[in-house]
Amino acid sequence: MHEFSTFGIGGPIQYFAEVHTIEEMREAFLFASQKRIPFFVLGKGSNCLFNDSGFSGVVLLNKIDFCSWNETSVQVGAGHSFSLLGSQSARRNFSGLEFASGIPASVGGAVFMNAGANGKETCESLLSVTYLHADGVEEKYSREALSFGYRHSIFHTMKGAIVSAIFSLTPHLEARPRQLQIIDYRMKTQPLKEKSIGCIFRNPAGQVSAGALIDRCGLKGFRVGGAKISEIHANFIINVQEATAKDVFYLIELIQKTVLETTGVLLEPEVRFI
């Protein structure tokens, strides 16, 4: 799993396949069903902490990657880079997805987690999602039929895979300058050149950010094994030297305990534990 993780962490995979079409995804689901084993659909491998023991089942790397533009929307495959989509749309002077620049997710992953930054969320520009259920049935959902929350979507309760999405676009000459400003700010305030999986904790409602709370506790730079709390942004844990999931788990628990004792706030992890 470490080969497909932005963290560079994770053990062996029992079965693995790259999936380039909906039909290949359907065949993979059938294989998992016949073997009576679980499957996991993988995008960019961010926002997930993979176990050191690996995954006993089928890991499917979603490579359904296409991009079709028109005057008011773009239809894009779930395997397309969300960050690239943000820069592509801005270069075409389309507004709505500038915030996506620098987010290390696939389009499918961004929709699944309702990824967000700079006060914007993925669902805000979403028009519809095409989903393949585990039984092989393909279904298209309008935005109105879907439920989204902070780093959450209805897809968390469904079994299958997002295969494509359609986003609305608004022509705006300031889209490109705004997108460049966002990526410049992110480069200066986040450890984008390090191995990480993005922010570890959700920002508490009505509180200062999780990163500010962790920083207030003096935890920046604290290290366990090969894992370290970033000195650039305290809500990032980075893999500095062959870190294990166990190292990261220990740091997460340490952060939660310290922040709770110091500030009274219990931080809730944003990452998924696979």
Catalytic amino acids? 151, 199, 270
Question: Residue 124 burial by CB count (10 A; 0-12/13-18/19+): exposed, middle or buried?
Answer: middle
Integer Cα distance of 130 and 142 in angstroms: 9
How many whole angstroms from its chain centre is CA 52? 20
In whole angstroms, how large is the CA radius of gyration of the chain?
19
Backbone φ and ψ for 50, nearest 5 degrees, come out as -85, 140
Integer Cα distance of 58 and 38 in angstroms: 6
Q: What share of the chain is helix, strand, coil (3-state, %, to 5)?
A: 30, 30, 40
Integer Cα distance of 192 and 187 in angstroms: 6
Contact assessment for residue 174 and residue 94, using Cβ atoms and an 8 Å cutoff: no
DSSP secondary structure of 170-217: EE-TTHHHHHHHHHHHHHHHS-TTS---S-SBPPPTTSS-HHHHHHHT
**Strand-pair partners of 162:** 131
Integer Cα distance of 83 and 96 in angstroms: 13
